[in-house]
Amino acid sequence: MNLEELRTRLGTTRPAPVVRESAASPEAIPGGMLEQTNRGPCLVVETTRGHEEEHGSHQFMALRGLRPFRIGGVLAGIGQDGPHLERVAYLDTETTGLGYGAGVQVFMVGIGSAEPDGFRVRQFVLRHPGEEPALLLALSEYLSGFDILVSYNGRAFDWPLLENRLILNRVPPLEAQPVHLDLLYLARRLWRARLESCGMSTVEQAILGVDRGSKDVPGYVIPSLYFQFVRTGSLGLLRRILHHNLYDILSLAVLTAHVERVLADPWGGTVSHAVDFYSLGRLYNALGEVDGAVACFETALSHDLPPSIRDEAVLRLAMIEKRRSNWQMALPLFESILDRSQFERIACVELAKYHEHVAREFGPAMQLTDRALRADGRLDRWPGTDRMELLHRKRRLSGRVGNVTPGPSPPS
């Protein structure tokens, strides 16, 4: 069966031929060059931003000699002592689709790095899918000069996809895998409470003050722009994608510097929003850095906060103080959220525990347990607020209340 017969049987007609522009020549793209590999040429587009140049509210200067140790520490990827971990690469890819299927290609890989003359971005570009082995070889070669890889969702997406492509093109994997820091994880921790999304476009605007202007294209149209570029050879389309990818990398790099400074000293002027201190408090608390957590929660609470966040900050602070047996601090905090419907149950439970186990005042403990049982229990994620547990507490307390039990003996 030939093509003509196939068309007839499928009831379609011959489509209009694609008009091709001249082949994408590297010279036509500023910074473009062809890198030769033993599996063919790969287009590389290089852009350098001077140290003094600005990206949003930051200068690229901030990236000179930056070692994201604190980020690494939080992400538990590297310890605090990593003098050999010098070279940081910022990575972002453009792909022909979402998901990890074998048919999803990585057609552009941008790598940013701080260099003596400024911040340099090298973009490895597939002019057509036949150049994929060359791109992967050139990329592997280039990446071997770096120790740390910083990405935004790269651990879950870009990197596994690149691994797929290596397998598919029989290109050997990198000999030394760089340490991979995925900033998205931290961004979520830091800004989820305040921002609608933690996508790069939202974060760069809200946190870095970056405005891409009208030239930029939204991420979801990129695959179709690329397909059009491959079919028509139109360089205009490619430039728009290059621009988008460049900005993603510039923002990623600057964001890395920003987060590193935030983690180094939240009070150093880098955090301007009270909600962010609350998020930092939660982050430090999760890392077990209790003093830092307390300080952050206290800073957050000394400013205006949305009511639900305020209450949650109070509760979390109270929990820390309780764990440190600092009841003087913890009790008023728990009491202050007793009337908040969302927190009533947990506050009652915690106060009841105090009265039962610390103060040994079973009457009040019983009253608080009853109140907890009446309270709205939707916030069940707190341990100890389960209805069964409350009923168990109540049974135990009613035994104790019935007996003559001494309260704490007054100091004589």
Question: Considering only 200-208, 225-233, 252-260, 347-355, which stretch makes contact with other proteins by CB under 8 A?
Answer: 225-233
What length is written for the chain? 412
- Nearest of 15, 40, 149 to residue 92 by alpha carbon: 149
Binding mask 110-139 for other proteins (x = CB under 8 A): ------------------xxx---------
CB of 102 to other proteins, least distance (A): 5
The interface with other proteins within residues 311-340 (CB under 8 A) comprises none
Of the pair 5, 81, the CB lying nearest other proteins is at 5
Contact present, 369 and 394 (Cβ < 8 Å): yes
Nearest residue (CB) to other proteins, 220 versus 388: 220
From 170, 169, 70, 151, select the one nearest 111 (Cα to Cα): 151
Q: Which residues contact 99 (CB under 8 A, 6 or more apart)?
A: none
Nearer to other proteins (CB atom), residue 159 or residue 362:
159
* Closer residue to other proteins (CB): 6 or 286: 6
Strands (E), 96-136: 106-115, 118-125
Residue 80: is it exposed, middle or buried by C-beta count within 10 angstroms (0-12/13-18/19+)?
A: exposed
- 218 lies in the binding site for other proteins (CB under 8 A): no
Contact between 358 and other proteins by CB under 8 A: the answer reads no
- The 10 Å CB-count burial string (b at 16+, else e) for 203-212 is bbebbbebeb
Strands 148-151 and 88-95, bridge-based pairing:
parallel
Closest approach, Cβ 45 to other proteins, in A, equals 20
- In the complex, least distance from residue 77 CB atom to other proteins, rounded to whole angstroms: 20
Cα–Cα separations (whole angstroms), residue 213 to 50, 224, 247: 20, 21, 11
Side chain identity, residue 255: L
Asked whether the beta carbons of 89 and 150 are under 8 A apart, the reply is yes
Phi then psi dihedrals of residue 139, to 5 deg: -65, -45
Which of the ranges 62-70, 99-107, 242-250, 348-356 carries the binding residues for other proteins, by CB under 8 A? 99-107
Nearer to other proteins, 237 or 317 (CB): 237
Determine if 232 is a binding residue for other proteins (CB under 8 A).
no
By CB under 8 A, name the one of 65, 83, 99, 408 that touches other proteins.
99
Q: Which stretch binds other proteins (CB under 8 A): 42-50, 145-153, 220-228, 252-260?
A: 220-228
Distances (CA, A) of 384 to 278, 292, 356, 381: 24, 26, 14, 9
Report residue 40 as tokens: 């063919």
User: In the block, which residue shows the tokens 């694609």?
Assistant: 18
**E strand or H helix that includes residue 206:** helix 200-208
Q: Confirm or reject binding of residue 7 to other proteins (CB under 8 A).
A: yes
Please identify, using beta-carbon distances, which residue of 93 and 285 lies nearer to other proteins.
93
Task: With contacts defined by CB under 8 A, name the span among 160-168, 262-270, 333-341, 366-374 that binds other proteins.
Answer: 160-168
Which CB atom, from 229 or from 278, has the smaller least distance to other proteins?
229
* Region of 48-56, 97-105, 353-361, 397-405 interacting with other proteins (CB under 8 A): 97-105
Binding site for other proteins (CB under 8 A): 1-3, 5-7, 9-12, 14-15, 96-103, 105, 128-130, 163-164, 167-168, 223-224, 227, 230-231
